[in-house]
Amino acid sequence: MEADIATQAVGLTSSADFSIINLFIRADIIVKIVIIMLIAASIYSWAIIFEKFKLFKKINQSTIEFEEKFWKSKSAETFYNNLPSEMDDPMAMVFKDSMQTVLKSRSKSNLSDRLTNIMVTNIEKQMSVIEKNFTFLATVGSTAPFIGLFGTVWGIMNSFQSIAISRNTSLAIVAPGIAEALFATALGLLAAIPAVVAYNKFNSDAKKYYNKLEDFSKRFLAII
């Protein structure tokens, strides 16, 4: 009798352990898959966030330096000839590709129209690099809460099954399953909130940078 009581006490203690590791270990295979997916999405989202934060900091500084040097130069062609062979600033790349078109063009007729089209293409090319992985952040922000909710619903279903099997409505029976379910919801929000905030910020920064490139292209066309 005393041994049975001790065994039940140990079982209740184990089920009452709501640490993150134990919640994952006790979870159903479907809930485990949901948890792993959300953790992986959150880690990759943060990797993108740090990478984009460094990228915008870098290109904003390099673009300011490029514009200062460009507008202080004697001519666009002289400045182009003095450019280093390897550059990673988007505005510098737009200028370089556009100047190559100007210098290689034998016919000056309709040069302005052709150069406008080329600069638009070059700007879109650079922006596609800057906006890479934006879609992933938007997808995580919009779907992660629903994926977490799916894990929640599945965990609650398992809790009700536990009640039906044990025919016991005690909270100790359903608490582990409900805890696993709520853990999946929490992970969904943990993945979605930073992704949404980062997407909105970087999308705004990208639009501002696009306006910089567009403004530079218009002024460049004016002097050409």
Residues 6+ apart with CB under 8 A from 191: 38, 39, 41, 42, 45, 140, 144, 148
Number of domains in the chain: 1
Spatial distance between the Cα atoms of 29 and 27, rounded to a whole number of angstroms: 6
Q: What is the pLDDT of residues 120-151, one digit of tens each?
A: 999 999 999 999 999 999 999 999 999 999 98
Is the distance from CB of 221 to CB of 102 less than 8 angstroms?
no
Query: What is the average pLDDT across 50-65?
Result: 94
pTM of the entire predicted model: 0.80
Q: What is the pLDDT of residues 78-100, one digit of tens each?
A: 888 888 878 889 999 999 888 88
Query: What is the average pLDDT across 43-67?
Result: 95
* Segments forming the whole domain that contains residue 68: 2-223
